[in-house]
Amino acid sequence: MALLVDIFGYLSVILHGFVIVTQSMTLGGLLFLMLLLHPLSPRLPQGDVLEQRVVRLTRWSAWGLLLSELATTALQVSVLMSTVDLSFANVMQASFAVAGSIKILCALAIALGLGRRSMAQPLPRVLLLLVGLLELVAATATTHAYARLDHNALLMAVEGLHQFGAAIWIGAIPCFVLVLRHLQDTDGLTLVGARFSRMSMIGVACILLSGITMWIFYVGDVQGFYGTAYGVMVGAKVAMFIGLLGLGLGNFLVTERLRKGANASVIRLRRFAEVEIGIGFTIFFAAASLTSVPPAVDLTTDRVSLHEIAERNAPAWPRLSSPDHDTLAISQLQTQLDREAARDHQVAQSATTPGSGVIPPRNAEDIAWSEYNHHWAGIFVLLIGFMALLGRAGAGWAKHWPLLFLAMAGFLLIRSDPEVWPLGQEGWWIAWRDVEVAQHRFFVLLIILFGAFEWSVRTGRLKSERAAMVFPLLVAVGGAMLLTHSHQISNVKDQMLIELTHTPLALAGVAAGWARWLELRLPGRGGRIAGYVWPACFMLIGVILLWYREA
């Protein structure tokens, strides 16, 4: 239980991300069925078969929502019971538990009630929509709006509108892709594409209207936007939202050409929609991370100023030499504890306890150690991007660039956490209690998988098309996970300034992953352009890492 409490913060963000994804897919699937596919089904070839496919996808989404919400509620209830002397019955009366229970019951009702018979009758369809609406209302009770003392009703309505917009647009895209995959008829494609474009426009309008309102009430002013973690995360969401709008515009133009009877690439429609799903789900995880930090308007002190940002990011030569391990704060503290224990003939205490929640000491050498790690990682990534570009230009030897990932993974595994194995005094397994260590090891594993799969694909050892998808997916997932990454820094401003560096890294990672996806999946000029975009994103990541500073 103590370990559960230690990792509660990070685990709750991840689980909340899955809740938002499955909730949007469930509600989006319902709306897609009720507003688009069921009315158009009689006019589509194999309309009934398509409807059953989307019903199955929506039903599976509802089961996913049920499990995700069950895990989230169970985690919150368990942690609350273990930290506050309250019984299970009392904790279940809390607003988050009541809202979670309602969401679970709604997901169960949709999973069991959605089927061929319910879709054939008007009353069951209306009831399913009402259950979806109830789920949406319960979901708003777990947002920042519910806890606000002022403008509570307005913000609850705005949060609901925001989630509705996300569901009808992003949450419905998997259904759209599923239909596009099986629908070959041009007239049918035109019908589905045109109506989904209108649904997407409604979703965009809802997100824009609610997003602007939330910016006013949660961010407040310009410094709240650039000077707080909440504002920076909002900026990341806005950047990805703009990317989604660009892809949506591309799909809208294809749909318009189809509607006018002109030639248009349906494959581009599908591939852009696939990328929209990936970026949209990344936004959902960013939204989950956003709920773990207070709104910017509530953080009136310790904001970062423009001067501090400029000072931190002033050009400086990369740190290419490392301080000695014995000069780090924890090493020095451990040496002192060992000396005192030896004097008293006792067993020495450990200088740190992984996952204890106690912020470890840091000194200037710790900062130099971390900057050295980031700068050498930047050199690795810069070389990877450069060699990938050379490979794209025709240099055969450059195809072995994925091996650089393996070297970088080994470097990071040894250096990322100097207080744990193999350099520090803490063992390999106990260090998993520390969320930051666990995240670093997760990223190392991702990097190894990047390198191994991509090198096998590029050298012909793996010929499966699915194997080629592993690299872009892991790069995109790595970028998304970086948005949930946290560092334990004793000063809030330091944490915020580091956040300012990690967020563009995450965005570049997401862009690189989905650009590589398009290179593999989109034939023609679009795929070739994407083939130059993702190495450029890697080189940008390398430059950001070389620029990285903690003081």
**Six-digit token pair at 271?**
């591939």
Cis peptide before 422 (omega within 30 of 0): yes
**Six-digit token pair at 160?**
């609901």
d(CA 454, CA 2): 39
Give the SS3 label for residue 211.
helix
Q: Give the residue-averaged pLDDT of 522-546.
A: 93
- Phi first, then psi: give them for residue 239, nearest 5 degrees: -60, -45
User: What was the pLDDT predicted at 356?
Assistant: 65
d(CA 415, CA 449): 19
d(CA 115, CA 57): 11
Residue labelled with tokens 């979901």: 139
* Confidence label for 165 from pLDDT (cuts 50, 70 and 90): very high
Give the SS3 label for residue 183.
coil
Q: Give the residue-averaged pLDDT of 40-59.
A: 93
Q: Does 63 or 81 have the greater pLDDT score? A: 63
| pLDDT of 485 over the 70 cut | no
DSSP states of 315-382: ------SPPPGGGSHHHHHHHHHHHHHHHTTSPPPPS--TTSSPPPP--HHHHHHHHHHHHHHHHHHH
Neighbours of 201 (CB within 10 A): 14
Question: pLDDT tens digit string along 516-531?
Answer: 999 999 988 889 999 9
Lowest mean pLDDT among 64-68, 256-260, 481-485: 481-485
Q: What is the pTM of this model?
A: 0.88
Q: Give the residue-averaged pLDDT of 350-362.
A: 72
Residue labelled with tokens 């061929």: 116
Question: pLDDT tens digit string along 178-217?
Answer: 999 988 888 888 899 999 999 999 999 999 999 999 999 9
Give the SS3 label for residue 11.
helix
- Who's near 249: CB < 8 A, 6+ residues apart? none
User: What was the pLDDT predicted at 489?
Assistant: 46
Question: pLDDT tens digit string along 430-453?
Answer: 888 787 888 888 889 989 988 898
User: What was the pLDDT predicted at 6?
Assistant: 55
Are the beta carbons of 413 and 374 closer than 8 angstroms? no
Beta bridge partners of 420: 426
| pLDDT of 477 over the 80 cut | yes
Question: pLDDT tens digit string along 266-293?
Answer: 888 899 999 999 999 999 999 988 887 8
d(CA 320, CA 310): 23
User: What was the pLDDT predicted at 256?
Assistant: 86
Question: pLDDT tens digit string along 89-106?
Answer: 888 888 899 999 999 999
Q: Give the residue-averaged pLDDT of 350-357.
A: 70
Question: pLDDT tens digit string along 394-437?
Answer: 888 999 999 999 999 999 999 998 888 888 888 888 888 787 88
**Residue type, position 131, single letter:** V
* Confidence label for 15 from pLDDT (cuts 50, 70 and 90): very high
| pLDDT of 476 over the 80 cut | yes
Q: Give the residue-averaged pLDDT of 461-474.
A: 87
d(CA 355, CA 432): 8
| pLDDT of 354 over the 70 cut | no
d(CA 233, CA 215): 12
Q: Give the residue-averaged pLDDT of 34-38.
A: 95
Please give the distance of CA 542 from its chain centroid, rounded to a whole number.
21
Give the SS3 label for residue 429.
coil
